[in-house]
Chains A and B, each alone.
Chain A
Amino acid sequence: MNNINYLIHLLILSLLQIVIVDNIHLGSYFYLNIYILAIFLLPYKLKGVPLLLFGFLLGLLMDFADNTVGIHAAASTFVAYIRPRLLQLTSTREELEDAHGVQGLTDFRWFLKYSFMSTLLFNVVLIFAEAFTFRDILITMIRIILSTFISMLFMLLYYFIGIKRAQK
């Protein structure tokens, strides 16, 4: 995936999130976020401080769009922070060597493993930051789990329609 391709995905994902997904309401247990897919799709060679700043700014943009101020920024910075470590954890050394992203993305099982762990951790930070309390921890846990699954579902949909098919 080259840079222009990536920017188009970033733009589509952000617009989808702001214009459509933010308007889908599935009840207080389902917090639907697909824009973090833009962080998952980043080229491997982007790391270090630019990666963190990208996550932070993307989260901040979503905060403005969503009237939340801070919670998306906190969660997506976290996703950017754990990205290098998760990449190493979920893939073998050789896969990381071909650093252009395309090969890794075509491997569905790897993508599923990595994005599921990332989404889960994203929702942990996001929903605790939103609740800002450890009271009613059971409800918070249920919200985290359900939000992770619904977000994964929509991201996989985007993955199959927008990325897999385009590569064929």
Chain B
Amino acid sequence: MKEIIKLILKYHFTIIFILLEIVSFSLIIRHNEYQRAIFSESASILFGNISAIATDVKNYFRLKETNESLANENILLKNRLEQYELSRDTIVQGTFMQDSIPVYEYIGAKLVNATFNRTKNYLTLDRGLKNGIWKEMGVCSPDGIVGLVQDLSGQFAIVIPLINVDSRISAKIKKNSYYGSLQWDGVDYRYSYLNDIPYHVEVNEGDTIVTSGLSKIFPEGITVGYVESVDKETANFLKIKVRLAVDFKRLDYVYVILNNKKNEQTGLEAINYHE
């Protein structure tokens, strides 16, 4: 016993070092598994506020560009509204449009913090539970899709973007509807890879990749990116390099996508699955 105490006293520096490293690494592992639910709540309130101020200052210098992009989108939306009004007038009311709740709704949000140079990048938005955001909602920008909501506090939301190695998003080739899973390789924030496309499918450079709509998170047909190059070397599947439509370094304002019918669909699918 005496010997053990002696030994501990002699090496207490190293022992405490090892203990602290064990704590650190258990934090890392837990953070991978439970996706930081415990820490993000308290930390995001404090540091979310600090980085919100920093971002406010930064945004001020980008007002002009942001205004232009907002104006452009307004025009686009107005045009769409016109078309919609037009078609509503022509269709006999009550026959096709009995359901007044739209399937997808959008909540605007501002980016307050973001990382790009990790293999596991995250974005922080200034909207949270209080604004009706839930886990696993889709996030998109005017250019294309951004990622999924992963974690929430009252006022902030953590988004796992396309440029995170843990992110998997179902996407398809627009022209022939073959779908696969989009996965980032952790190297360049501008490019991602579309996997699981059979090798006989014809894909050309410049083809548009859009969301498949199978995941219930994104509406069908939102732009994901454009084919940069196609690698046919792997056995049965193509490895398609995709140039992402969203420039993550210039992201300011995003939309969180709310699927009003997600619960209904998931519920039904769960019943059938268990039968």
Contacts and interface: CB of A to CB of B under 8 A. Distances in A.
Interface of A: 18-19, 23, 25-31, 48-49, 52-53, 56, 59, 63-71, 73-74, 77-78, 81, 129-132, 136, 139
B79 interface: no
A66 B115 contact: yes
Contact of A77 (B17, B29, B119, B189): B17
Interface in B20-52: 20-21, 23-32, 36, 39-40, 43-44, 46-47, 50
Contacts, number: 104
A78 B249 CA distance: 32
B17 A52 contact: yes
B23 to A, nearest CB: 7
Contact of B24 (A18, A29, A70, A132): A70
7 contacts: A27-B116, A28-B187, A65-B50, A67-B158, A70-B31, A73-B23, A139-B187
Contact of B28 (A81, A129, A136): A129
Nearest to A51: B13
Contacts of A70: 24-29, 31
Contacts of B31: 68-70
Contact of A56 (B14, B20, B47): B20
B8 interface: no
Nearest to A74: B24
B113 interface: yes
Nearest to B120: A130
A131 B187 CA distance: 12
Nearest to A59: B24
A19 B117 contact: no
B117 A26 contact: yes
B12 A49 contact: yes
Interface residues of B, number: 42
Given A28-B189, A56-B23, A73-B27, 5 more contacts: A52-B13, A67-B43, A77-B20, A130-B120, A131-B119
A26 B39 CA distance: 27
Interface in B217-275: 249
B124 interface: yes
Q: Which 10 residue pairs are nearest across A and B when measured between Cβ atoms?
A: A70-B27, A74-B24, A70-B28, A69-B31, A73-B24, A64-B43, A81-B17, A77-B20, A28-B117, A25-B116
B3 to A, nearest CB: 22
B98 to A, nearest CB: 45
A86 to B, nearest CB: 14
Interface in B152-194: 158, 186-189
Given A70-B28, A77-B21, A132-B32, A49 B117 contact: no
Interface in B86-121: 113, 115-120
B201 to A, nearest CB: 28
